[in-house]
Amino acid sequence: MSAECSSYLNADKVLVSGFSCPRTGGDARAVYCCGFQDVKYCCDDPHSFFPYKHSYMWWLSVGALVGLSIAAVVLFAFIITVCVLCYLFISTKPRNKLDTGLSLQMA
């Protein structure tokens, strides 16, 4: 089984001539023509979209994890600050009630 990848213009506007899959010297299982209008390649999965490994996604994930970690630390610090302020507010209230000067007992 083989597939034909037609010629195309790559991202640099250079014409890349068509080729057959699998390519000589390439993976024998790569019998499908995959890719987009500006990059085509032979692959073993007809639903494959990217010709390279997905390791670049880890950098995006690391950035997202760092951002989420910073947000979590800020939220945690905010919650601790609110708890400390509430404790200080409650603990510094006077324990005895102020005398209003009015007696509520019957004479």
Q: What is the pLDDT of residue 7?
A: 92
Local structure of 95: helix, strand or coil: coil
- The half-sphere exposure of 32 on its side-chain side, counting CA atoms within 13 A, is 10
The pLDDT mean for the chain works out to 82
Please indicate, yes or no, whether residues 36 and 62 belong to a single structural domain of this protein: no
In a domain, 9, yes or no: yes
Domain range for 12: 4-43
Q: What is the pLDDT of residue 71?
A: 97
* Range name among 15-19, 53-57, 68-72 with the lowest pLDDT average: 53-57
Q: For strand 32-35 and strand 15-16, is the pairing parallel, antiparallel, or unpaired? A: unpaired
The residue type at 85: L
Please indicate, yes or no, whether residues 31 and 62 belong to a single structural domain of this protein: no
Please indicate, yes or no, whether residues 11 and 39 belong to a single structural domain of this protein: yes
- Confidence class of residue 53 from pLDDT cuts 50, 70 and 90? low
